[in-house]
Amino acid sequence: MRTCFGRPLSNDAQSFTPLPQAVGEAALSLPAPLSTMLACCQAPPTSVVTGILVKDQTASNQADTQKPNTAAAISKTMTETHPRIAYQVHPGGGPFLLMVHGFISSAAQWTDNLAALGEVCRPVTVELWGHGKSPAPTDIAWYYPDSYMLQFEHIRAELGAQTWFTCGYSLGAGLSIRYANEYSKFVRGHIFTNSVSAFADESQIAHWHKTGPKSAADVLAGGIEAINKMPVHPRRARYLSANTRSALMVDTAQLSPLGVANTILATTPNTSIRDIAATNAVPALMCHGSKEKRFMDYKNWAQKHMRNLSIVSLEAGHGVNMEQPDDFNAAVITFIRRHTTDA
């Protein structure tokens, strides 16, 4: 049986072994900021988990006060000892499509989309740290968006894809949009759904920074029960198919409290792409769930400020691809066909 991080994969999905000891920098074309990020993921000698961060017992007090995302040492290569997010390649034909799910969700949220999208692409579902089959690193540096860029790019290189499409949902949208911006030469087009985190303004980001530590502490203290009580938990979503709901309930029962807590602290408040929206060089499609009223102002901002953006509005709330899978699939298929032909 094929496995990924020790868990079985379905027979209709393909898994990949870890990278060799090193992957050439030229093959990955990593951006300069990532040259500073990888060594911090290796726990130092005599390290202990204290709260969210991994701290060195021999480190100075000054080191304890440093922001975790300023850790200075990630190399441009990855070895088998470095943590990897889980991914699966699903049946299909054509270019690869990277698919990134949202907060306290999993790849199971794409259950009603994979078969249809396989008509025009090869879906590649990934799972965020501490979600689904992905591990939950203790070092919070892995949870920052730049680290996810490194993970996505390694997957592309491992697949041997010269170019591909990307698709992000909610929190995953901010990550996939940023990847499409930083690695635009490898991205034919990108699709995303409603995402407050992707288009958050300074006020919203400040709110997350203020409330995040308590939310993260509550998750660590309460474990899976605390996660189950979150308003955004999929168990409270309406209009999901029985298959999607069942698969999500299995995966969300296995969420890592550490992974969720670190996501709250490091991923959510640092995912906004407002600073790069005007420079988006790749065709983009927003599949807008028009019933989610709180997102309307963000949608309008994106429509005004994001370059190369098309918007299709669907009769759905936040869970666009799950609530209206047929309409979502049709919009994505049309977009991929258009830009596959263009390529």
Predicted local distance difference test score (pLDDT) of residue 342 = 55
pLDDT above 90 coverage of the chain, percent: 70
Q: What is the pLDDT of residues 18-44, one digit of tens each?
A: 333 333 333 333 333 333 333 333 332
Predicted local distance difference test score (pLDDT) of residue 36 = 35
Classify residue 181 by its DSSP letter. H
Distance CA 313, CA 189 (A): 18
Q: What is the pLDDT of residues 49-85, one digit of tens each?
A: 222 322 222 233 333 333 443 333 344 455 567 899 9
Angle between helices 171-182 and 145-159 (to 10 degrees): 70
Report CA 241 to chain centroid distance, whole Å.
Answer: 23
Where is 284: in which H helix or E strand? strand 284-289
What pLDDT tens digit does each residue of the chain (343 aa) get? 333 333 333 333 333 333 333 333 333 333 333 333 333 333 322 222 222 322 222 233 333 333 443 333 344 455 567 899 999 999 999 999 999 999 989 999 999 999 999 999 999 999 999 999 999 999 999 999 999 999 999 999 999 999 999 999 999 999 999 999 999 999 999 999 999 999 999 999 999 999 999 999 999 999 999 999 998 888 777 788 889 888 998 999 999 999 999 999 999 999 999 999 999 999 999 999 999 999 999 999 999 999 999 999 999 999 999 999 999 999 999 999 999 975 4
Classify residue 90 by its DSSP letter. P
Distance CA 304, CA 309 (A): 9
Q: Does domain 79-343 have CATH number 3.40.50.300?
A: no
Predicted local distance difference test score (pLDDT) of residue 80 = 61
Predicted local distance difference test score (pLDDT) of residue 341 = 73
State the distance between the two ends of the chain, measured CA to CA, in whole angstroms. 37
Residue with tokens 């441009």: 76
pTM, two decimal places: 0.79
CA distances, 107 to each of 156, 172, 221, 250, 342 (Å): 18, 11, 26, 11, 29
Domain ranges of the chain: 79-343
Q: Which among 312, 287, 309 is positioned nearest to 113, based on CA atoms?
A: 287
